[in-house]
């Protein structure tokens, strides 16, 4: 099973919840973000200690739903 997270939400709202959820999740964690800088996104995940297996950058907000579908 996979867990997909909208990083633009989890980085601002309830980061402690997402930290706990990603570390307790036994499956793959995919982080989706509307950013153009992968290095910065990964650094932000590290600062918040959010576990991830894959970071997916999208070029427009609506593309987040396309990635999940």
- In this prediction the pTM is 0.81
Cα dihedral 61, 12, 14, 57, rounded to 10, equals 40
Taking 70 as the threshold, does the pLDDT of residue 68 lie above it? no
pLDDT attached to residue 10: 67
Eight-class DSSP state of 68: H
What is d(CA 7, CA 56) in angstroms, rounded to the nearest whole number?
10
pLDDT in tens, 8-35: 776 677 888 888 999 999 999 999 988 8
pLDDT in tens, 45-56: 999 899 999 999
């Amino acid at each position: 099973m996979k867990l997909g997270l909208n990083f633009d939400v989890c980085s601002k709202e309830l980061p402690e919840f997402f930290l706990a959820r990603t570390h307790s999740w036994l499956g793959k964690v995919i982080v989706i973000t509307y950013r153009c800088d992968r290095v910065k996104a990964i650094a932000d995940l590290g600062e918040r200690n959010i576990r991830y297996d894959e970071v997916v950058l999208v070029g427009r907000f609506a593309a987040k739903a396309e990635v999940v579908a």
